[in-house]
Structure formats: C-alpha cells, structure tokens
Amino acid sequence: MSDYGTRAVVVTYPDEFAKREIAELAKAGGYEVSEVITQKDIIRSEYGVGSGKAQELEGLVADTKSDTIIIDESVTSAQANNLSRVTHVRVVDRERLILNIFAKRAVTTEAKLQVQLAELRYELPRARDSVKNSFRGEQAGFSGMGEYAVDVKFRALKRQMGFIKAKLEKSKTARELHTSERRKLGVPFVSLAGYTSSGKTTLFNRLATESKDISPDLFTTLSTTTRMVAFPNSRRKVLLSDTVGFISRLPTYLVESFRSTLDELRFADLVLLMIDASESAESIEIKLRSCRETLNELEVDPAKTLVVLNKVDLLDIKTRSKMELDPLFKDYSIVKASAVRGDGLHQLRTKILERTDPRKLARATRLPAPR
Ligand SMILES: Nc1nc2c(ncn2[C@@H]2O[C@H](COP(=O)(O)OP(=O)(O)OP(=O)(O)O)[C@@H](O)[C@H]2O)c(=O)[nH]1
Ligand SMILES: [Mg+2]
C-alpha cells in the first residue's frame, strides 16, 4: 500500500490556526480532506483520541469514503494501529505526514539523506511496537524471541543511522570548506528564514535574479541555494541563502536531521526573518513565536535578525500596522515589503547594506556575544 492516500478525515485541536494548518499540510501530502473534526486532547492512551471519538471516526470514514485518518499529533504506533483496527483505514500522524511531504519534495542527495535520517529517527522509538505487532498471535507473552527481535531491529536502525550520518558529515565538511573559502573573500552572509510559504524564495528570486520554484504549497524549498547578490549604486555584494521553511511543532529530530542545511543560519551575518503579514494577527503571533523557537534551537543570535513583513500588497498596511503589526513587532527591526510587487525593496536593500557593513561586522565580532 502506498504511503499516500487520496481522501482523509483529519483530527485536530479545536482552534482555527490548527485546523487551517493541518488541512494545508494534508493537501501538501497529496490528500483531499473530506472532513476536519476536533478534539481537545489527542494524547489518550489507547487510540490517541477517546474511544467515543474512535467510534465516531469509524462512521465518518465510511460515510465520506475516506481511506486515511490524519491525526494532528504525534502518536505511538500502538495507538495508530489500534485506531486503524477500529476504523479499518490507515492512520497517519502529524510527524509521518510532514516526513511524507519532505520525502516527496527532496531532490538533492543531501536532502534525501536528511529525510532518510529523519525517517529512521521517527522509527526508532516505534521499533518496539512494530516488532511486537509482527509477533502478534504467535506467542502469548512478549519475551525471549520478541525481545531479541527488538534488539536486532534497534541495532539495524542505529547502524543505518550511523551510515547516513557519516555520509551527511562528508557533505557538511565539503560545505564548510566552501563556506570558509567564501569567508576569505570577505563577503557578508545573509540568510532567509521563516515559516513555510512566507515568501522566502519569491524574495530570493527578486534579490538574486533567480527563478527557483515557488508555490502556495507548504515546503516547496527543501535544500539551500546561495547566490552572490549585487546592489544598485553600491560596489558591495552579499551572499544570500534561501533554505527550508519552518512550521509549528516541528519535531526536534527533524530540525536535527536538517541541521547541516539550517546551520547556514547560525553562520549568517544577517538573518531575514520573513513573515506573511497578510494573515490574521493570531496566526502571525503563533508563527513568529514558532520561528523564534526554531531559531533559538539553531542558536541564531536574535540581534542578527531583521524582520521582513511580506505580502503587504494584500493588505491595507497603514491600518493593519497601527492596529496590529507595530505592537507585535515592537522589539524587532522591520521592513514592510512585497516580494511579488516590489514594495519596500529599496528600503530592504538599504537595510541589508547597513547591517552587513564590514566595519560594523568587524566591530560586532570583537564584542562578546549578547546573553
Ligand atoms: N500576494 C503576495 N504573494 C506572495 C508574496 N510573496 C510570496 N507570495 C506567494 O506566497 C506563496 C509562497 O511563496 P514562496 O516564495 O514559495 O514561499 P517560501 O517561504 O519560499 O515557502 P517554502 O519554500 O515552502 O518554505 C507563493 O504562492 C507566492 O506567490 C507577496 O509579496 N505578495
Ligand atoms: Mg521556498
């Protein structure tokens, strides 16, 4: 059976942001969403959802002729199997769904390896259950042979992980060499960061005169592209990188698996944090918090960020700014822009030059890092 279904019933938390986001993730995973239902907590022991909800799901799946249930949470394989047994369809959790999207989108060798590593990390804590399942019916208890088989599976997964990590290490070394060569040129590094679909690649294409893929789908970009960017009326240049986007509740191991790609952010002299300003204030707040968390996890110094409030062509920027955006971003240095229409690009270029001025950067590296 393929990993991709066609019609899915989605179970998520009862808030608008969660409902919208999981529906978009499902779409990016190749599913048509037949129904979205909500549940306050999705971490019950037997099925993830409560047993009443599991019964309800059985009927819903049949009525809507769905072949998959997507649970917007990370569940154990035992919970997924239990729910699958009651409802007679495949159960996919949030992490599995994100991994499927990543697997589908990975093009470069490095991205493919990173996805494989993340898959193994996903599987490791579930190995015990999956072995147990394969022993189901063969013996009453789960000891002796069962425990031995778990051990074998664990060791096999660990070995595979070691193998992939070694391969990734090689590409990391090559990348670092490349980076240090570029450092010697004395060209500042600027990296794009932000939530998936905030418009990073659209801005990258504009600034670097490139034509990388953009789309309203989540996780269009999975690998890093770096280009030398020139500025009108200035002899200075910067290296600009576009990379994979963030999402809320991104599992730590996924960030870890993409570490070599995301490390670009840590070494950047300036991080352009893209925000889709056309969304509701509530969404913007959640996404900003989630981006900050991921950047912290990657040890990116907050002082290096410049927020780009993108997609201003879609809103009445004056009213929104005063009422909602300015208070939300009072602690940040911001530029309002439209990567599609071109608004704010002059100001953005000026700020990039200002913030990456070699004299300023040299002074910053002499100062102790802020705590
Ligand atoms: N109206 C409007 N749409 C924009 C703007 N910038 C980007 N978009 C649209 O937003 C969608 C996402 O743009 P991308 O550039 O692919 O976003 P991304 O941040 O690179 O997304 P991932 O690679 O998936 O992380 C596309 O449909 C773009 O056309 C903008 O300034 N205005
Ligand atoms: Mg992109």
**What mean pLDDT is predicted for residues 105-129?**
90
The Cα 87–Cα 143 span in angstroms is 30
User: Ligand 1, atom 32: nearest CA belongs to which residue?
Assistant: 311
Atom of ligand 1 nearest to the CA of 205: 15
- CA nearest to 311, candidates 265, 342, 350: 342
The DSSP annotation for 117-148 comes to HHHHHHHGGGHHHHHHHHHTTT-SS--THHHH
- Spell out the domain ranges in the chain: 7-102, 106-164, 186-366
pLDDT of residue 356: 95
Q: Is the pLDDT of residue 371 over 50?
A: no
What is the rounded average pLDDT of the residues 67-75?
A: 94
- The pLDDT score that the predictor gives to residue 365 is 56
Instruction: Say if CB 36 and CB 12 are below 8 A apart.
Output: yes
**5 — pLDDT class (breaks 50, 70, 90):** low
Q: Which of 52-61, 90-99, 189-198, 245-254 has the lowest mean pLDDT?
A: 245-254
CB 191, CB 264: distance < 8 Å? yes
What is the mean predicted confidence (pLDDT) over 227-251? 92
Query: How confident is the model over 257-316, as pLDDT tens digits?
Result: 888 788 889 889 999 999 999 999 999 999 999 999 999 999 999 999 999 999 999 988
Nearest CA to ligand 1 atom 6: 199
- Range 186-366: architecture per CATH: 3-Layer(aba) Sandwich (3.40)
Domains 7-102 and 186-366 fall in the same CATH topology: yes
For ligand 1, atom 29, which residue shows the shortest CA distance?
Answer: 215
- What is the model's pLDDT at position 369? 47
Query: What is the architecture of the domain spanning 7-102?
Result: 3-Layer(aba) Sandwich (3.40)
- Ligand 1 centroid distance, CA of 41 (Å): 32
Mean pLDDT over 220-244 rounds to: 93
- Residue 187 has a CB neighbour count (10 Å cut-off) of 17
pLDDT tens per residue, range 300-357: 999 999 999 999 999 888 788 877 888 899 999 999 999 999 999 999 999 999 999 9
Q: How far apart are CA 277 and CA 54, in angstroms?
A: 38
For position 68, what pLDDT does the model report?
Answer: 96
pLDDT at 52 over 50: yes
Sign of CA dihedral 312, 341, 240, 105: positive
> Going by CA atoms, what residue is nearest to atom 30 of ligand 1?
311
Ligand 1 residue neighbourhood (C-beta within 6 Å): 196-202, 214-216, 218-221, 245, 310-311, 313-314, 338-340
- Note the pTM of the prediction, 2 decimals: 0.89
| Ligand positioned closest to the Cα atom of 202 | 1
Contact present, 68 and 5 (Cβ < 8 Å) = yes
Residue 367 has pLDDT above 60, yes or no: no
Look at residues 120, 87, 90, 89 and name the one whose alpha carbon lies nearest to residue 103: 120
**CB-CB contact of 279 with 305 (8 Å):** no
- Give the whole-number percent of the chain exceeding pLDDT 90: 62
- H runs (alpha helix) in the chain: 16-28, 51-63, 77-87, 94-105, 109-123, 127-135, 145-184, 200-208, 252-257, 259-267, 281-297, 317-320, 326-328, 345-355, 358-366
Q: In ligand 1, which atom is closest to the CA atom of 274?
A: 19
Confidence of residue 366 (pLDDT cuts 50, 70, 90): low
State the pLDDT at residue 257.
86
Would the pLDDT of 2 be above 70?
no
- From atom 14 of ligand 1, which residue's Cα is the shortest distance away? 199
Predicted confidence at residue 139, as pLDDT, reads 53
How many angstroms separate the alpha carbon of residue 42 from the centre of ligand 1?
31
Instruction: Give distance in angstroms: CA of 276 to centre of ligand 1.
Output: 8
DSSP 321: I
Dist. CA 346 → ligand 2 center (Å): 22
**What is the Cα–Cα distance from 51 to 44, expressed in whole angstroms?**
9
Residue 250 confidence class, pLDDT cut points 50, 70, 90:
confident
339 C-alpha to center of ligand 1: Å? 8
Q: For 45-54, what is the mean pLDDT? A: 83
pLDDT of 82 strictly over 60: yes
Atom 12 of ligand 1 has which residue's CA nearest to it? 197
pLDDT exceeds 50 at position 370:
no
By most ligand atoms within 8 Å of CB, the mutation choice from 215, 294, 310 for ligand 1 is 215
Read off the amino acid at residue 75. V
> Which of residues 186 and 31 earns the better pLDDT score?
31
Report phi then psi at 34, rounded to 5.
-90, -25
